[in-house]
Amino acid sequence: MTRIAICGAAGRMGRVLIEATDNNANAAMGAAIVHPDDPMMGVDAGAIAGLGKEMQVKAVESLQACINDFDVLIDFTAPVVTMDNIRVCREHGKKIVIGTTGLTADQKAEMEAAAEDMGIVFAPNYSVGVNLCLNLLRMAAGVMGEDSDIEVIEMHHRHKVDAPSGTALRMGEVLAETMGWDLDEVAVYGREGQTGARPQKQIGFETIRGGDVVGDHTVMFAADGERVEVTHKAQSRMTFAKGAVRAALWVADQPNGLYDMQDVLGF
């Protein structure tokens, strides 16, 4: 039985992660961490998630306060918080599953260094379907990429703070890797004004924010005479939460290293 801690337990994703942990027979809720000023401080995790039962796990204000109560931390918070949590987990020999997006290059480099001493799963998206789509994109780019205009379109709820989404950027990375391109050189993030004709060696990103959309992603290969689209639509955060718990159970038995959801799924 793997004991799981959830950082940001009172947030939208945190509540679903508690439920997903409770639903998995191989996982146990070990700790719930919330902001010190959160009204859920000291509240049982079951009540935080609205499960109608107690889990005998009271929310605490820091990772240090529960360091002996878990094996793997799941963190879908913010870059600064996540980096602090990596340092604490590294110091105490804990493993971590990270779904936080918007990390800088320097933060990713620090995370890679930390993985020499701990197990880390870092992925922009923990949905099984999205990770299947990444493999489909490799196939489509290999077959159609040279003769198509490639666009990545994503839509999320109004509260999302980073753009493009981490998933859209990962899709762009996969496309660029397959095509042998440098994404920094070929990416275009939105268009305005007199942009001129579109060059073929380009990956466009369009970002839409509105409503309560959990997450929609479409990659379009637009060729002369035909168009192929690879689309994933998330209807519930539970798909991400189940994948994150699956990753936590998987990494609990892995040696130190930096992994992603493709590793977890055996892709």
CATH number where 182 lies: 3.30.360.10
Whether 159 is catalytic is no
**In terms of domains, do 67 and 104 share one?**
yes
* Spacing of C-alpha 120 from chain mean position: 13
| pLDDT tens by residue, 49-98 | 999 999 999 999 999 999 999 999 999 999 999 999 999 999 999 999 99
**In terms of domains, do 191 and 258 share one?**
no
Which two three-digit tokens encode residue 220? 């379009």
The number of domains in the chain is 2
**In terms of domains, do 115 and 246 share one?**
yes
**Coil, strand, or helix at residue 39?**
coil
**In terms of domains, do 10 and 92 share one?**
yes
> By C-alpha distance, which of 186, 184, 195, 206 is closest to 145?
186
Rg (CA), the chain: 20
**In terms of domains, do 28 and 112 share one?**
yes
The arrangement of strands across the sheet holding 215-223 comes to 187-189, 203-209, 149-156, 215-223, 226-234
pLDDT of residue 102: 87
Go through the chain and tell me how many residues it has.
267
Task: Give, in order, the Cα–Cα distances in Å from 196 to each of 137, 192, 199, 243.
Answer: 27, 10, 9, 42
Helix (H) or strand (E) segment spanning residue 219:
strand 215-223
**In terms of domains, do 23 and 88 share one?**
yes
* Mean pLDDT of the chain, nearest integer: 96
Residues 6+ apart with CB under 8 A from 166: 101, 102, 124, 125
Helix (H) or strand (E) segment spanning residue 113:
helix 105-114
Amino acid at 8: G
| pLDDT tens by residue, 25-58 | 999 999 999 999 999 999 999 999 999 999 999 9
**In terms of domains, do 27 and 101 share one?**
yes
**In terms of domains, do 138 and 201 share one?**
yes
Whether 156 is catalytic is yes
pLDDT of residue 263: 96
**In terms of domains, do 187 and 216 share one?**
yes
**In terms of domains, do 174 and 252 share one?**
no
pLDDT of residue 101: 87
**In terms of domains, do 116 and 7 share one?**
yes
Annotated catalytic residue within 35, 94, 156, 217: 156
pLDDT of residue 124: 87
* Spacing of C-alpha 53 from chain mean position: 28
* Spacing of C-alpha 43 from chain mean position: 26
The arrangement of strands across the sheet holding 257-259 comes to 27-33, 2-7, 72-75, 95-98, 119-122, 257-259
pLDDT under 50: residue ranges of the chain: none
Neighbour count for residue 248 (Cβ, 10 Å)? 32
Q: Parallel, antiparallel, or unpaired: how do β-strands 149-156 and 215-223 relate?
A: antiparallel
Which CATH number do you get for residue 57? 3.40.50.720
**In terms of domains, do 71 and 152 share one?**
no
Helix (H) or strand (E) segment spanning residue 21:
helix 12-23
- Which range marks the domain in which residue 58 is found? 2-122+237-265
